[in-house]
């Protein structure tokens, strides 16, 4: 129990040597950051409480090594962003509390595609519904979740996150993969173009069109050309210069011979 100690950060390997710890209570401190690998030695930890601190973001790797964790409380912090993959390694996690933070969106990418979560607490966050389309799709596939709370706001109304209809949201366009043309040459250095289309997904419902260019030109480099195919560049020009010099030399020699004979 390390509550109410004014702890401000959790550094890498902060709990080294405590492998057998089952519960760690860090609530009501001044923790503002968690370094990657801070809990890496706590492979048997089942409960972690970091509520009522000053954490503003959760990065991928913050909870690496917590392979046995069952409950995680991050309630009443200042969390406004969670990096993709932040909770993806917590395969035995049953409850995660993110209530009373500053989250405006929650992405499905912070979790694994399939989880064993039973409770996901999000109440008390200023969530914006239409920024969470992937989350709502993910949530609909989590059959084990029996407790899920929180509200989101969009279209001038507030809706329970368990009943929001995502089909009302505008869909911004997304780029397809690049498709490359063939190189402009069969050997040596040349150029090629590539293109993409704004159809992954197609913008709809007033959503934004893709930003950026749909075409690009790139350099391409193939195998070296055979000597017999090289018909340009410095070498041919050098040969022509040598030929001109040889002709001038022969002309001077002829002039000297003529002058000498006279």
Residue range 62-68: average pLDDT? Answer: 91
Q: How many CB atoms lie within 10 A of CB 4?
A: 11
| pLDDT of res. 109 | 93
Beta strands in 42-126 (DSSP E): 47-49, 57-58, 71-73, 81-82, 95-97, 119-121
Residue range 165-173: average pLDDT? Answer: 86
d(CA 222, CA 188): 5
Using 50, 70 and 90 to split pLDDT, how confident is the model at 216?
Answer: very high
Pairing of strands 81-82, 57-58: parallel
Please list the residues that pair with 121 across neighbouring strands. Answer: 97, 149
Burial of 134 (0-12, 13-18, 19+ CB in 10 A): middle
Q: Is the pLDDT of residue 236 over 80?
A: no
pTM above 0.75, yes or no: no
Please list the residues that pair with 148 across neighbouring strands. Answer: 120
Q: Is the pLDDT of residue 237 over 50?
A: no
d(CA 68, CA 44): 5
| pLDDT of res. 206 | 84
| pLDDT of res. 229 | 63
Domains of the chain, with CATH numbers? Answer: 1-168 (3.80.10.10), 170-224 (2.20.100.10)
pLDDT in tens, 76-117: 999 999 999 999 889 999 999 999 999 999 999 999 888 899
Q: How many CB atoms lie within 10 A of CB 226?
A: 8
Closest CA to 28 of 56, 11, 6: 6
């Amino acid at each position: 129990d390390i509550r109410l100690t004014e702890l401000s950060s959790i550094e890498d390997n902060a709990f080294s040597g405590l492998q057998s710890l089952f519960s760690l209570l860090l609530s009501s401190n001044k923790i503002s950051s968690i370094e990657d690998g801070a809990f890496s030695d706590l492979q048997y930890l089942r409960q972690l409480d970091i509520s009522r601190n000053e954490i503003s973001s959760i990065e991928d790797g913050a909870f690496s090594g917590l392979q046995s964790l069952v409950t995680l409380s991050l309630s009443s912090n200042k969390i406004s962003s969670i990096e993709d993959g932040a909770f993806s390694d917590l395969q035995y996690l049953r409850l995660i509390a993110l209530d009373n933070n500053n989250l405006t969106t929650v992405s499905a990418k912070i979790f694994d595609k399939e989880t064993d979560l039973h409770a996901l607490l999000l109440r008390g966050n200023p969530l914006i519904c239409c920024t969470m389309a992937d989350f709502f799709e993910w949530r609909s596939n989590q059959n084990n979740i029996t407790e899920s709370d929180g509200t989101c706001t969009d279209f001038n109304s507030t809706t329970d996150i368990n009943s929001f209809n995502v089909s009302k949201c505008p869909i911004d366009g997304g780029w397809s993969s690049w498709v490359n043309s063939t190189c402009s040459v069969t050997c040596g250095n040349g150029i090629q173009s590539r293109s993409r289309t704004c159809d992954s997904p197609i913008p709809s419902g007033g959503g934004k069109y893709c930003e950026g260019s749909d075409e690009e030109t790139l350099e391409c480099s193939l195998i070296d050309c055979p000597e017999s195919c090289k018909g340009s560049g410095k070498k041919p020009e050098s040969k022509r210069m040598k030929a001109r010099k040889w002709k001038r030399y022969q002309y001077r020699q002829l002039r000297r011979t003529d002058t000498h004979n006279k």
